Amino acid sequence: MSTPIKRLEIIKNAIELEDDDIIHSQLIRLKNEAFDDELQAIVVALEEKNYTGAIRAITAWLQSQRAVAPWRDPQLAASKLELKALEERLRDLIDRRNARVQQLDEFNDLYFSRLGPLRKQILALRKTLAGLNLRRQRAEARRREVNYRRCQRYMAQAVEVLVTLTQRWRALPADSLHAAEARKHLQQQSQLIANLLAEALELESGLTPEDPARQARDEANQEYEKYREQHHDAEIRLRKSKALCEADQNELKRLWRQASKLCHPDLVADERKEDATTMMVQLNQAKQRGDVKAIRSLVARLQQGFEPMMASDRLNDLERIRKKMAQVREQIDALVHELAELEKQESWLLISSLNNMEAYFAQQERALNEVRASLELQVSEAQLKSAA
């Protein structure tokens, strides 16, 4: 009841202001709200531009309704309108965020399609090289361990000889020729022990744990497997996308964004969040399948709006409305921050700065081919060293 009252008050003021544009804009909506004969008669008078008769009828109808119409807190209407504006702001931000994410996803899929095979070869070569390096380190560690044990045995023998020589030298008279000869042998044996100690120290420094090399191999393996899965998923998405004509691809993107604005869980009233989440799952699944018909059907259901989903359309309690406004403001602040951070990312800066996509991919292909050639050479050299 309150909506026709407000609308007729606007039309009455517009007649007094002689503003035909306002009258016409409100008349379009009033025609859908004319629930009794008196209102329909007012609509006819306005359509016929019988403003004298219309304003008499409007004045009489408003007086009759004010006697029975319940009082409505102006703060409630103002708060509902403010909440609606906040919801629209949040809807626009979600749509902007979705558009950015969609652009990034499309670029990533195109990157996988154009450069994925080369990247996978490079990661496979790094994985092979890391494995060869680990095996070479293990072989080198085994060699050093053998040499270290041999050095220990030689040192033990040299120390025994040194003890014997020391005892013989101490038994000789200090002024004898034999004492001088024994002292010379002692000096030579001490130098031999010093050399063996230096060799042992060098071998010890090479007996490092294999953890870094093993970690490098494991990381190379994980990176390769992760990229292989991503490349596989991108290929599936691209196959589904190519199955659609260009018009259907564009409609799929447009409908997905449109539906996201209508049923995103962050946008709806709390009691409709579960329904909205279910719809978003259905929407994303349909997008992944490339099912334009399913998304079109979902958008139609949302647009018909048999039951309002937005909080501004559902809430009539001032306290709940204000609580929802505070919540939406927090969501807006979070999205503004998220968008600012997203637009600082290297990937977004790259996409937004690219003027010639073909030239970019050609340059990347040349650079990746150089990396692959370098890794192939490193792998060959590592294989030769392992075989030696």
Nearest Cα to Cα of residue 259 among 198, 302, 227: 302
C-alpha Rg value of the chain to the nearest Å: 42
Whether residue 341 is predicted with pLDDT greater than 90 in this model: the reply is: yes
Q: 143 by DSSP, 3-state: which?
A: helix
User: Stretch 215-234: mean pLDDT, rounded?
Assistant: 84
Nearest Cα to Cα of residue 322 among 34, 31, 10, 81: 81
Q: How many Å apart are CA 267 and CA 247, to the nearest integer?
A: 29
What are the b/e assignments for 43-73, b being 16+ CB within 10 Å?
Answer: bebbeeeebeebbebbeebeeeeeeeeeeee
Residue, of 2 and 323, whose pLDDT is higher: 323
Vertex 179 angle, CA 174 and 184, to 5° = 130
User: Stretch 175-182: mean pLDDT, rounded?
Assistant: 85
Lookup result for tokens 């049923």? 263
Confidence band, pLDDT 50/70/90 cuts, at residue 293: confident
User: Stretch 336-348: mean pLDDT, rounded?
Assistant: 92
User: Stretch 177-186: mean pLDDT, rounded?
Assistant: 87
For position 313, what pLDDT does the model report?
A: 77
Determine phi and psi for 209, rounding to 5 degrees: -60, 155
What pLDDT digit, counting tens, does each position of 78-94 carry? Answer: 888 898 899 889 988 98
Whether residue 308 is predicted with pLDDT greater than 60 in this model: the reply is: no
Q: How many Å apart are CA 63 and CA 55, to the nearest integer?
A: 12
Q: How many Å apart are CA 126 and CA 223, to the nearest integer?
A: 10
Confidence band, pLDDT 50/70/90 cuts, at residue 207: low
Is there a contact between 309 and 262 (Cβ–Cβ < 8 Å)? yes
Return all residues near 136 (Cβ < 8 A) that are at least 6 apart: 382, 385, 386
Whether residue 127 is predicted with pLDDT greater than 60 in this model: the reply is: yes
Lowest mean pLDDT among 108-117, 176-185, 282-291: 282-291
Confidence band, pLDDT 50/70/90 cuts, at residue 272: confident
Q: 377 by DSSP, 3-state: which?
A: helix
Whether residue 273 is predicted with pLDDT greater than 90 in this model: the reply is: no
Confidence band, pLDDT 50/70/90 cuts, at residue 66: low
Q: Please give the distance of CA 381 from its chain centroid, rounded to a whole number.
A: 39
Vertex 161 angle, CA 159 and 167, to 5° = 105
**Which residues of 110-216 form beta strands (DSSP E)?**
none
For position 388, what pLDDT does the model report?
A: 63
For position 371, what pLDDT does the model report?
A: 95
pTM of the predicted model over 0.95 = no
Lowest mean pLDDT among 187-191, 293-297, 379-383: 293-297
For position 294, what pLDDT does the model report?
A: 84
Q: How many CB atoms lie within 10 A of CB 304?
A: 8
Nearest Cα to Cα of residue 125 among 384, 382, 354, 372: 372
Q: Identify the bridge partners of residue 310 per DSSP, sorted by sequence position.
A: 268
Query: Measured between alpha carbons, how far is residue 216 from residues 17, 138, 220, 306, 386 in Å?
Result: 80, 14, 6, 58, 18
Confidence band, pLDDT 50/70/90 cuts, at residue 58: confident
Tokens standing for 120?
Answer: 């996978």
Q: 266 by DSSP, 3-state: which?
A: coil
Residue, of 304 and 377, whose pLDDT is higher: 377
Confidence band, pLDDT 50/70/90 cuts, at residue 305: low
Q: How many Å apart are CA 22 and CA 34, to the nearest integer?
A: 18
Tokens standing for 338?
Answer: 């998220």
Whether residue 70 is predicted with pLDDT greater than 60 in this model: the reply is: no
User: Stretch 1-19: mean pLDDT, rounded?
Assistant: 81
Q: How many Å apart are CA 353 and CA 345, to the nearest integer?
A: 12
For position 306, what pLDDT does the model report?
A: 47
Return all residues near 308 (Cβ < 8 A) that are at least 6 apart: 269, 314
Confidence band, pLDDT 50/70/90 cuts, at residue 364: very high
